Structure 1
Amino acid sequence: MPVMHFRIQWPDGDEANCYSPSRVIGEFFVPGEVYALDDFVARSRQALGIASERVREKYGFACSAAMDQLAQIERDAARFRERPGATVKVIEFS
């Protein structure tokens, strides 16, 4: 499976490198675009879920790394839930 990394910027300016076991991330995000926090989390949930299922289809088991990445995104996003207008920028894919 072609792995994809994507770098994001949280509302406080911190950056994070994220992992997907599939290039499906490219169907949900555009480098340089800014997403509302809840939209970013929802898109991440959907994209990483699809990526994990693609691993299951190919290897017979879900991708725990994709689910770990989603859990990290959800934990990090929770810090900004009360911040009005919080956004996440997708910086780049690699």
Structure 2
Amino acid sequence: MTDPQHARLLPWTTPDGKTCIVVGDGEGAVSRIADGVEAVQLDMAEDLLGHADEMLADRKTTFPELHYLARQLSSSLREVCRVAESRRVRLPRRER
């Protein structure tokens, strides 16, 4: 018996911003690459938060630096939300 096939939201989009998915049992090469990309995205988000804390504590941080930080935080949050959505969909449903 084979494992059931499921659609998985991938942690990247096409060059024009369209959603990418893979259909499979979650054990294929694309799923393993996606797992690695998600891990990197989450690690980078954590590092960025630490950097943000340091910059926000420093009163000498300039407006352009804060603007750049906000752009990076926004991008990182978008990635983390995509990872969370992908993982939420893959969680087994619990009966209430």
TM range (shorter): 0.3 to 0.5
Q: Which structure has the greater CA radius of gyration?
A: 2
With CA pairs under 8 Å and 6+ residues apart, which has the higher RCO, 1 or 2?
1
TM-score of the superposed pair, with normalisation by structure 1: 0.36
Higher strand share: 1
Higher helix share: 2
